[in-house]
Structure formats: C-alpha cells, structure tokens
Amino acid sequence: MSSRSLMAANWKMYKTVEQSLAYARELVRRLEEEPVFDVEQLICPTMPALYPLVQRLAGTSVRVGAQTLDLGQEGANTGAVSGYLVREAGAEYVIVGHSERRQLYGEDDTLVRDKSVAAAQARLTPILCVGETRDQRQAGQTDAVIVRQVEPVIEALASDADLVIAYEPLWAIGTGVLPEPKEANRVAEIIRQVVDRIRPNFSRQVRILYGGSVNRDNICDFAAQPGLDGALVGGASLDVGHWLQLNRFWREVRA
C-alpha cells in the first residue's frame, strides 16, 4: 500500500477563473506560513481554470487535476477535451467515472474503463470513482457493484499504471449522510481483493480514497481507517480554510 495520503478536492462546476486563482493565492500563502507535511494535495477545478491554476501553483506542493476527459488525442470532436490536452495543460490526475458523470452524462462501465486507459496513456493518474446507490445497498448488492466497476479497469490498465480508486457511495454524495467509517474501510478491503485477484500485488500501488459528505466533523474518523489513503472532497473543499483544516486533521490522525 502506498503510504502517501492523498487529499483531492473536486470543485465540480463551481468557481470562476478569478475565484480559483484567489483561492490558490490564499492556499499558497497559508501553506507557506504553516505547511501540511506528508499529505499530497490535489485540486480539480473547472476546465477553464485548469491551466491558470497550474501556472499559479507551479513550484508549490499542490497538484492540479481535471474532473473528466474525453477519448482520443486530437481531432474533429467539437467540445471534447482529451487526456492528452489535459496533460499538456499541466494536470497530473483526472477523475474518471464520477457518479455525476455516470448519471448526468450516461457514462457506463465500458466508457469508464476506456477513459481510465486513455488517462494512463496520456500520463495522467486516473482517480476511478466507484460506489453503489441507496437501492443497491439496501438490496445487499454493494460488493457486487464495486467488483463490477473495478474489474474491467484493472484488466485493461497496464501493470505499471498509477491508479487511485475513490469509494463514493452515491447516497453519501452531497447529502450529509455517511457510511460508518468502518464500512468504508471494509469496502476499501474489497477493492484491494478485487485488484489483487486480477493482478497480484497491484493493490500496493493503488491508493484508495473515501468520498461523500466529508467535512471537518467527520474526517478524523475516516483518517483512522487503515485501509483508506485519503479523501475525495466536494462541498467542503470550496472554502480554503475548511480545506486546509481537512488536510491538517488527516495528517494529525495519520502522523
């Protein structure tokens, strides 16, 4: 298991370029005063803010990622942004298969698999999002859903690919309703088992995050779970003070 914690901020469709840059300025200023060691911080802004944010955060410890990518490299694909273009803009990570992409834009497991491969080929680290709906959980299908979502990606990725998997139960995203941290840990173990069944020992190079309604009141309980390597944070990442607190709390628990 990789020991480096990863805290990833998913800004979704929030923040203009100006607002993103103001956040970055403030983040860098506060990190200079009081650095957060041993936690890799990643910000995933809107597409228009990606390149300006990369420029602003160059030379700092904060990484930048994209929230999605399209297949291919270059071509007559109006409106599309390929992994290649995202990487050239300076992103190092890309979120793949977020439930909002699956639900709002019809991304299925096959497309998510292909996007994960495209990300790796573009030298981006995919953050593969997996998770069950409320109905699936109530029907006892959580583990089967996770296996179905993880398996094709591991089968398709090259053995030296970097990979992050975020367990995000759909019913916990933006709702304030959370799974027991121990249950998130159990699912993380299921993910590791699936990964290693397909490719022995591959899970050692995969970091597993929890995502869904993480905030400063609950982060310590998730940080205390040994199977989790970080968190994917939506709403609570939009305020720079709250975001820094999350990073500090995670670090304190893991130190």
Q: What's the length of the chain?
A: 255
On whether the CB atoms of residues 146 and 130 are closer than 8 A, the answer is yes
Instruction: Pick one of 5, 7, 10, 130: the residue that binds ligand PGA (CB under 6 A).
Output: 10
Rg (the chain; Cα; Å): 17
48 interacts with ligand PGA by CB under 6 A: no
- Using the minimum distance from each CB to ligand PGA, give the nearer residue, 178 or 206: 178
Alpha carbon distance 87, 93 (integer Å): 8
Per-residue tokens: 49: 């803010």
Instruction: Pick one of 232, 246, 249, 250: the residue that binds ligand PGA (CB under 6 A).
Output: 232
**Nearest distance in Å: CB 232, ligand PGA:** 5
Backbone angles phi, psi at 189, to 5 degrees: -70, -40
Q: 103 Cβ partners below 8 Å, 6+ apart?
A: 170
40 given a catalytic annotation: no
Closest to 99 in 3D by CA, of 225, 230, 215, 234: 234
Total residues in contact with ligand PGA, by rule CB under 6 A: 13
173 interacts with ligand PGA by CB under 6 A: yes
Tell how far CA 113 is from the center of its chain.
Answer: 16
14 interacts with ligand PGA by CB under 6 A: no
Per-residue tokens: 23: 């956040």
Instruction: Specify the amino acid at residue 176.
Output: G
Stretch that binds ligand PGA, among 55-63, 189-197, 234-242, 244-252 (CB under 6 A): 234-242
Tell how far CA 72 is from the center of its chain.
Answer: 22
168 given a catalytic annotation: yes
Binding mask 126-165 for ligand PGA (x = CB under 6 A): ----------------------------------------
Stretch that binds ligand PGA, among 58-66, 149-157, 194-202, 211-219 (CB under 6 A): 211-219
103 interacts with ligand PGA by CB under 6 A: no
Cα dihedral sign, 2-119-230-143 = negative
40 interacts with ligand PGA by CB under 6 A: no
Question: How many alpha carbons fall within 13 Å on the CB side of residue 212?
Answer: 25
**Nearest distance in Å: CB 147, ligand PGA:** 21
SS3 content of the chain, % helix, strand, coil (to 5): 45, 15, 35
Stretch that binds ligand PGA, among 21-29, 52-60, 191-199, 210-218 (CB under 6 A): 210-218
The catalytic residue among 40, 98, 107, 132 is 98
211 interacts with ligand PGA by CB under 6 A: yes
**Nearest distance in Å: CB 68, ligand PGA:** 12
Name the site residues for ligand PGA (rule: CB under 6 A).
10, 168, 173-174, 211-214, 232-236
State the catalytic residues.
98, 168
